[in-house]
Amino acid sequence: MKKKARYLFPKDYMADPSAHVFNGKIYIYPSHDRESGIAENDQGDHFDMQDYHAFSLTSTDAEVVDHGKILSVADIPWGGRQLWDSDVAHRDGKYYLYFSLKDKNDIFRLGVAVGDRPEGPFIPNPDPIRGSYSIDPCAFEDKGQYYLYFGGIWGGQLQCYRNNKLSLPGELPQADEPALCPKVVRLSDDMLQFDEEPRDLLILDGNGEPLLQGDIDRRFFEASWMHCYQGKYYFSYSTGDSHLLCYAIGDNPYGPFTYQGVILTPVVGWTTHHSIVEFESKWYLFHHDAVPSGGKTWLRSMKVTEIEYDDNGRILTVEGS
């Protein structure tokens, strides 16, 4: 029988958990929530995080090891404020931590920091990734090539870009127009830059039409994740203001992807965010909610629960708490 979802680190507030299996252990790279006293607004100023910790565990039941601080805003030469979601990739013995951070002009960029071990420490590059923007990088390896998926609307600033160029004042499409797409880009062999212009990742409905901006229960908002299951590519994401984690399936890392359904119904708190990883032949959803903080949306706690697929490869919906 499937076990109940488990809070992973009750001692502190950690959100947006990106989980990977490195050297036979699960490593988790979350955002480190804190009480900053900044009032809540639609730009997300209250998510004012300043550092990251790395965590590991030998099984989903095992004790969670906190490896301590692996990167701080203060270490990042171009950094301004708000260390949001991050992710880590492993290539040729090095670990690459990709992160979202506002620069000194309050523009979100993606940065990269390099370490020799999965638990860090990570040394940041002196500049953000050239041509990067918005938030929520997800690193994904496929047949020896590495890709980043990214983007987030509202406070994540994706609406301020068209064709990868800043386009102010940054309006969302109308409700009956195609939704803003998440982005996908191949990384350079040294893992430090984009190797091409970021591309739109199209999410289609069952009729092959792009999801519309007004389709708030299905269109992309933020929190990209990619995993493969039985040869298919599963792109999953948050719908933000309708508080769902959804997924779409494609045949290759660039897509297009066809919308399939809900992975996780709304949790306590405004944001919902996740990663999906296979460990010892079971599949797990790492996510967060704001139950332990009494619903404070900016103080979230990371959790893990097992997920299952049906015979057609559809993910069985998990009820959020």
Can you give the binding site for ligand FUB, defined by CB under 6 A? 15-16, 31, 47, 84-85, 100, 135-136, 152, 222-223, 271, 273
Which residues fall within 8 angstroms of residue 149, CB to CB, at 6 or more apart? 137, 138, 140, 182, 183, 184, 201, 224, 225, 226, 235
CB of 263 to ligand FUB, least distance (A): 15
CB of 62 to ligand FUB, least distance (A): 25
End-to-end CA distance of the chain: 19
CB of 298 to ligand FUB, least distance (A): 8
Residue with smallest beta-carbon separation from ligand FUB: 84
CA 47 to chain centre: 15
Catalytic residue among 16, 48, 87, 200: 16
Catalytic residue among 85, 119, 215, 222: 222
Residue type, 36: S
Pick the closest to residue 267 from 2, 91, 7, 43 (CA basis): 7
Rounded distance, CA 276 to CA 281, Å?
13
Is position 141 annotated as part of the catalytic site?
no
Q: Are 275 and 19 in contact (CB under 8 A)?
A: yes
Give the nearer residue to ligand FUB in terms of CB position, either 195 or 262: 262
Is position 222 annotated as part of the catalytic site?
yes
Pick the closest to residue 215 from 255, 235, 184, 244 (CA basis): 244
Q: What is the DSSP string of 153-209?
A: SGGG-GGGEETTEE-TT-PPPPTTSBPPPPEEEEBPTTSSSBSS--EE--EE-TTSP
Angle at 259 between CA 255 and CA 263, to 5 degrees: 115
Give the nearer residue to ligand FUB in terms of CB position, either 69 or 117: 69
CB of 138 to ligand FUB, least distance (A): 10
Q: Are 220 and 159 in contact (CB under 8 A)?
A: no
Give the nearer residue to ligand FUB in terms of CB position, either 32 or 218: 32
CB of 136 to ligand FUB, least distance (A): 5
Give the nearer residue to ligand FUB in terms of CB position, either 81 or 117: 81
Counting beta carbons within 10 angstroms of the beta carbon of residue 271, is it exposed (0 to 12), middle (13 to 18) or buried (19 or more)? buried
Give the nearer residue to ligand FUB in terms of CB position, either 117 or 216: 216
CB of 206 to ligand FUB, least distance (A): 27
Give the nearer residue to ligand FUB in terms of CB position, either 218 or 243: 243
Q: Are 314 and 263 in contact (CB under 8 A)?
A: no
Question: Which are the catalytic amino acids?
Answer: 16, 222
